[in-house]
Amino acid sequence: MDYGSLISRSLGYTKDALWGEWWRWVLLVILSLVQVFTLFLVPLYNGYIVRVLSGRRPAPDVNQWGRLFLDGWKLNIITLIYLIPVILVLAVFGGIAAISAIAARGLDNPDVWASAVATAVTGIVIASIIWIIISFISMFAIVRFAHTGSFLQAFSFGAIARHIGRIGWGAWILALIILVLIGLVYAVLNGLIASIPILGWIINLFLGVAYGIFHARYLVEAYESAPAPG
């Protein structure tokens, strides 16, 4: 897998999608704000990301609002289902920590409180490890869902494993690691720009949409680096 080409093609796609298409860019910023302020209950922006993940060339227009809404909710649900193991781990360890803390209430024994904190931290660490492992599958599953248009294909684990095998597990994992590093650079840049009063916040809204499209297209490029199994 040519990772440099992966990045350059994704940047080119993002540029073509937004540069000069100002109305599309502004509309996507508005949809991203609506999605955040409604706590993802109106996931029209996610619906657009699904269109990008489907591999459409050139970048799709923002239309067919009902379809955007449904696809956005499908993406929400798929993401939530893949997060169930993480949520369960946090719930179990959080419950144990809470019971320990309640038992320690009013007691002067710091060891009891330390045990509750240690339990909570352990739960967070384990949940984080599980989340990282699941992410290698869930990101691929989301692209498969978008490409096939089938919700159930996001959970076709055999087909997902065979496709990743064709790409190469090492190549796919390295592609995601590179994407994470790019995300870290973006986060630092975001923080620097945010220090600019008012204007920085506005700039970051537009950059956030651009990064979202880049992120989705990068996954598509990696996904399409090997043909899907029949």
Q: For 74-125, how does the pLDDT look when each residue is reduced to its tens digit (9 = 90+)?
A: 999 999 999 999 999 988 877 776 666 666 655 555 666 677 677 778 888 9
In contact, 179 and 221? CB cutoff 8 Å: no
In contact, 222 and 167? CB cutoff 8 Å: yes
- Write out the two tokens for 60: 């799709």
Q: Whole-angstrom Cα distance, residue 170 to residue 173?
A: 5
12-30: average pLDDT = 96
Global pTM value: 0.91
Q: Whole-angstrom Cα distance, residue 124 to residue 174?
A: 24
